[in-house]
Amino acid sequence: MRNRLSKAPLGCTLAITCGAFVASAQPAPAPLAIPNPSYVSIPLEITVNRPAAEVWKRVGKYCDIGEWLQVPCTITSGKDGEFGAVRSIGNEILVGKTELSYTYTQPVREGRPYNLYHGTLEARPLTATTCKLVYTLLYDNSMLADDAARERDKAQRTAQFTRALENMKILAEGGTLPPPPARGGKKGAPKQ
| pLDDT tens digits, one per residue of 27-76 | 888 888 888 899 999 999 999 999 999 999 999 999 999 999 999 999 99
Going by C-alpha positions, the residue among 53, 67, 75 that lies closest to residue 122 is 53
Give backbone dihedrals phi and psi of 38, rounded to 5 degrees, phi first: -130, 95
187 occurs within a structural domain? no
Q: What 3-state class would DSSP assign to 120? A: strand
Number of domains making up the chain: 1
CATH number of the domain bearing residue 52 = 3.30.530.20
- Range of 68's domain? 37-172
Which residues lie below 8 Å from residue 90, measured CB to CB, with a gap of 6+? Answer: 106, 117, 189, 190, 192
The whole model's pTM is what? 0.80
Which residues lie below 8 Å from residue 30, measured CB to CB, with a gap of 6+? Answer: none
67 occurs within a structural domain? yes
115 occurs within a structural domain? yes
73 occurs within a structural domain? yes
14 occurs within a structural domain? no
104 occurs within a structural domain? yes
Sort strands 86-87 and 101-105 into parallel, antiparallel or unpaired: unpaired
> Cα separation of 108 and 91, whole Å?
10
8 occurs within a structural domain? no
- For the stretch 118-174, pLDDT in tens is 999 999 999 999 999 999 999 999 999 999 999 999 999 999 999 999 999 999 999
99 occurs within a structural domain? yes
